[in-house]
Amino acid sequence: MQFNPLILEGSEKAYAKWRDTKLRAYDNDLQDAPVELDAENLSDQQLSQLLTRSRQFNYAIYRLDDPDAGDKSFVRMLGKKIGLQRLDGNLCSDEDNISSIQVMQTGRHTGYIPYSDRQLTWHTDGYYNDEARTIRAMVLHCVRPAAEGGENLMLDHEMAYIQLREAEPRFIEAFAELDVLTIPPNIENGIEIRGAQSGPVFSLDSVSQRLHMRFSARTRNIEWKQDALTQEALACMREQLDGNNPYVITCRMQSGEGIIANNVLHNRTAFTDADDSQKKRLLYRARYYDRVKSEENE
Ligand SMILES: [Fe+2]
């Protein structure tokens, strides 16, 4: 990005050029085409395809030649190859900081929708984190899909930015306000385990100088600024997510398939698990403080 996406005045030309390049990338319809990977030995060409897709769409879907090769060490290795080093740990991740996303009936996980079979509304990861723990990228690897449902929909947050700016440039300003979106504290058994988190929807990532987005479409336990412009911007955003948006892709990952992404907007549909406990949906999720690198030699 050759311009500051949060400064609108004077950036029209640079913005238009960047926007047109972004839009053109969709002409080849490669955004939801998986990159085929040799799990044991990723080739330079395979790696380069992943990086190109990430640069264009902020995500890439991949498919392993051997569906059983996708264990946690593969996820960690893949992350490193694309510049993802600093793993985020959270309350529910396993000891190695990679989370096993599956339906959990007991323990700490039970209060959290990711560990249920319910739908997950649109969001970017870590929208409740403080700045020091900003999630910039993730790897989501499917070990086993659900018997039915459990699709992931994704929208490149830079496309969301473009659609908002095209609708009304002032929406970008509203979403860049530092107090536009507040997540109330997380209280477990009467104890506050995370304080309230206020911040912008759109910000400029100080490391990469690229756009970062913090968003959740949930309607409970979330406080949006009440002014008219914010509310209009939010309505416009919801329309993009729930309407017939040509830039939203739907991905129902099969065993051995996965997604790498620069924390784009995503959701998950509800699903039904198989009765057999060995065949229930299982995804590995690694979240990082780094972004996917933009060049092979970086
Ligand atoms: Fe997520």
Cα separation of 35 and 47, whole Å? Answer: 9
Q: What is the 124 CA–ligand 1 centroid distance (Å)?
A: 6
User: Looking at residue 297, what is its pLDDT?
Assistant: 59
Q: What is the 262 CA–ligand 1 centroid distance (Å)?
A: 11
Q: What is the 126 CA–ligand 1 centroid distance (Å)?
A: 8
Q: What is the 265 CA–ligand 1 centroid distance (Å)?
A: 8
Q: Where are the beta strands (DSSP E) in 147-206?
A: 148-149, 152-155, 181-183, 186-188, 191-194, 197-199, 202-204
Q: What is the 20 CA–ligand 1 centroid distance (Å)?
A: 28
Of the candidates 30, 105, 87, the residue with the CA atom closest to the CA atom of residue 62: 30
Q: What is the 12 CA–ligand 1 centroid distance (Å)?
A: 32
User: Looking at residue 9, what is its pLDDT?
Assistant: 93
Q: Name the 3-class secondary structure at 74.
A: helix
C-beta of residue 153 within 8 angstroms of C-beta of residue 249: yes
User: Looking at residue 224, what is its pLDDT?
Assistant: 98
Q: What is the 10 CA–ligand 1 centroid distance (Å)?
A: 35
Q: What is the 42 CA–ligand 1 centroid distance (Å)?
A: 26
- Distant-in-sequence, close-in-space partners of 129: CB < 8 Å, separation ≥ 6: 88, 135, 197
Q: What is the 59 CA–ligand 1 centroid distance (Å)?
A: 13
User: Looking at residue 190, what is its pLDDT?
Assistant: 87
Q: What is the 285 CA–ligand 1 centroid distance (Å)?
A: 9
- The percent helix, strand, coil of the chain (3-state, each to 5) is 30, 25, 45
Low-confidence ranges of the chain (pLDDT < 50): none
Q: What is the 91 CA–ligand 1 centroid distance (Å)?
A: 15
HSE-CB for 277 with a 13 A CA cutoff: 2
User: Looking at residue 92, what is its pLDDT?
Assistant: 65
User: Looking at residue 1, what is its pLDDT?
Assistant: 64
Q: What is the 23 CA–ligand 1 centroid distance (Å)?
A: 25
Q: What is the 52 CA–ligand 1 centroid distance (Å)?
A: 23
Of the candidates 293, 290, 289, 262, the residue with the CA atom closest to the CA atom of residue 48: 293
